[in-house]
Amino acid sequence: MKFFIDTADVKEIKELAATGMVDGVTTNPSLAAKSGKKFLDLVREICAVVPGPVSAEVTATDFDTMMKEAAVLRKIAANVTIKVPLTPDGLKACKTLSGEGVMVNVTLCFSPAQALLAAKAGASFISPFVGRLDDVGTDGMALIRDICTIYKNYAFKTEVLVASIRHPMHVVEAAKIGAHVSTMPPSTLRQLFNHPLTDKGLKAFLDDWAKTGQSIL
C-alpha cells in the first residue's frame, strides 16, 4: 500500500518524507488556505519535496474553467495530479485530462456508483471519504470493499485512494481490503509507528545494555 499524507504543511511533509514512508501528498482548498501561502507556490514547493503524485485541486465547478485551472496546475511539475470533484463537469474534465496523459484524482466519492463512473472516466485515483461516512452512521470501509470488488471485476486501472482517514485502524482495514493508497494526516502516519510493547521492549533492552558499561562506538 502507498502512503500519501493529507496536508499542506511543508515542514511536516519534509519531516515525514525523510522517513521514506511518504509516496505522495494530497491537498485541498481548505488545507491550502490554512497554510497562508499562495496556492501555486505551495504546490510547487511540495512537488520539489515529494517525487510522487501531489494532488492539486481545481476550485472551479464548470468544465471550461476547470480545464483552464488544470492547464495552469499541470505546468508546475510533472508529478502534479489534478484533483477534480465527482460531478458531471468534474468527470468530463477527468476524461479529457486522462486522455491527454494527465494524472487525475477524483475526490468526494461516497458511493460505489460514483466510483464506477470515475473509473470509466479514466481517473488515476478515486478518493472515497471513509471518515465522513462514519460520521453520519455509515460504514465507510464497506464502501472501500465495494469499490475494490467492482474494480477487480473489470480490471480497472484506477487506484483506490482511501481518504478522510481518522485513525490507524482505517489504514489497516483499507490495507486488508486491498486498497492501493491511504492518504492521512501527519498525526495518523506517526501513530502507525507506535505500540506500547515496542516502547517497553526497547526500554528493557537499553536498560540491560547500560548495565554492561559497554559502548559500540
Q: Where are the domains of the chain?
A: 2-212
Residue 174, pLDDT score: 98
The CATH homologous superfamily of the domain defined by 2-212: Aldolase class I (3.20.20.70)
Q: What percent of the chain has pLDDT over 70?
A: 100
Residue 170, pLDDT score: 98
Q: Per residue in 125-161, is it b (16+ CB within 10 Å) or e — as a string?
A: bbbbbbeebbeeeeebbebbbbbbebbeeeebebbbb
Residue found under cell 479529457? 96
- Give yes or no for a contact between 22 and 13, defined as CB atoms under 8 angstroms apart: yes
Residue 193, pLDDT score: 95
Average pLDDT over residues 30-41: 91
The rounded mean pLDDT for the chain is 97
Average pLDDT over residues 45-59: 97
Rounded to whole angstroms, how far apart are CA atoms 179 and 13?
23
Q: Which residues are catalytic?
A: 83
71-98 pLDDT, tens digit each = 999 999 999 999 999 999 999 999 999 9
Beta partners for 159?
A: 125
Average pLDDT over residues 12-34: 94
116-162 pLDDT, tens digit each = 999 999 999 999 999 999 999 999 999 999 999 999 999 999 999 99
